[in-house]
Chains A and B, each alone.
Chain A
């Protein structure tokens, strides 16, 4: 009886030895190998896994090679490894700072780049400035339609200056009704004598029936 109990205790205490025996066996080696391959796989394939993509398209979605390529192209240091986006310095991600950079820029094209960054984030004053750049053809190809769109976005946010500029765009667009074979200058006469004595409104037509701009009567 005493001997049997000691043997039982010995058998229980020997778990470490039992594990060693299992690991020594073929099955144990295979289990260890599977665990090793799993850990290796997780470590090796984590960079290929896109959490943002998974959140958007359902869990456990793997990146295609095209998406991986796009991600590698978007890569720049410093990089947020978990969210898989480049970390942009605060002054470049903050719309207000971008607007300031645009206003301070010496080069018109550079100013437009900053305005556009801030405008795309919905900053009304940047949208208004970008509209102004389009209206005056500074740093971009002159485009009244684009200018009106940007002024409109800013005006919708209740910015008085943008509302004024938008009104200006509509008021100063003049239609040249004359059919002209070549670019010509047409004079849109102000209707009242007061303004006729003060100012003559000029517009230049480039194509017949084209909508064109007048010289600024309004500032």
Chain B
């Protein structure tokens, strides 16, 4: 499966740019992917507050057919929650409330 075809260069910054564009439109998958970029520090500096914010926004937006991804998002958010302070979580939730899809 992996041994055919041409590859593309890994470009985390480009990935984040596109995830952010898609997330602006309120796409759950993109919101979750953007959060993962923030968790991994992949293309952006690691920022759990931002990651928590995007996961919080993503979770209610998943469709019924995307339950697998939704479960992953919940799993990641719970994993983040135990590593964050109450103040950080409150800030992330405040940021989430402020966000509006374009």
Contact = CB atoms under 8 A, between A and B. Distances in A.
Given A160-B25, A161-B22, 11 more contacts: A134-B5, A160-B27, A163-B19, A163-B22, A166-B18, A167-B19, A168-B33, A170-B9, A194-B79, A211-B10, A219-B68
A198 interface: yes
Interface in B1-47: 1-12, 14-19, 21-22, 25-27, 29-30, 32-33, 36-37, 39-43, 46
How many B residues touch the partner, as a band? 35 or more
Nearest to A151: B18
A195 B42 CA distance: 12
Contact of B5 (A143, A163, A190): A143
Interface of A: 134, 137, 141-148, 155, 158, 160-164, 166-171, 173-175, 183, 190-192, 194-195, 197-198, 203-204, 206, 210-213, 217-219
B84 to A, nearest CB: 10
B7 A191 contact: no
A174 B25 CA distance: 27
Contacts of B22: 160-164, 167
